[in-house]
Structure 1
Amino acid sequence: MKSWTGSAGICINEQMEVLMVKSFDSKQWAIPSGGIEEGETPQECCVREVKEETGYDVKIIEQLMVKETVIQGIQVKTYYFRVDKIGLSSGINDPDNLIAEAEWKSISDLKILKHAYPEDLKLLLEQLDNSQNQIDTNTR
């Protein structure tokens, strides 16, 4: 069976919005992600893919999980990282020319959006909840 290994970055801003991307041929949104290149660590892949697809430089906060699944007969393994953005976006610069839009999505947006990976929604909402709790803790 063919296999593919990649990384995905969950980035949440100060307004409790998640950075999401959408492809040209799709109405579905997903977090920025892509395949690990030769010689790359999952962390390096995550930072590169988020930069290419959204224009944001990010730093890894923590590894959240590894999702293993089979999609159309391909064994897929994706490393999920929590990332923080550094500075402003320099614009989408996707060498694969797949990404049409990158936008910040609120919790209410996330609940009604079409998701490319619906199973990720629970993780996104958990991360938003964690972020909100950290803010609440820091402002008490």
Structure 2
Amino acid sequence: MRHILIATHGLLASGARSTMEFLIGNVDNVDYITAYVDGQKPINEQIEEYFAKIPQEDEVVIFTDIKGGSVNQKMIPYCVRENTFLVSGFNLAVLIEVTMTPEKLTNEFLKAKIEEAREQLCLVEIEKNNTEENDDDFLL
């Protein structure tokens, strides 16, 4: 089985999971860790509890928010585990793609999906028209 763990500073992780559920439905294999949030367990404890419940033979893909950030650094020791991948930085496109892909994951596959996700990040430029608009412009 594949498990997805989104781990971020603050509430970004829970929001990403919520949005995934809204867009694709069932995301029971997607968990999250919200680090440094009042009322939450310390991050080390959250991580230990998460990995304690995952069977050793299962795939785990960890997505963190900032390369080199404290959350990312705390995940690195868990990457020695077989079939465990750590991706620093994410967007919804890569989260959904990795979650829904049925085939076994490889480094090459994840690198390709990360590159595709990068292409989703772009500046949308709209040509600005200097002409004056009125209500008649919107009538069919």
Q: TM-score range by the shorter chain?
A: under 0.3
Relative to its length, the structure with more strand (as a share) is 1
- TM-score w.r.t. structure 1 length? 0.28
Instruction: From the CA coordinates, give the structure whose radius of gyration is larger.
Output: 2
Higher helix share: 2
Q: TM-score, normalised by structure 2?
A: 0.28
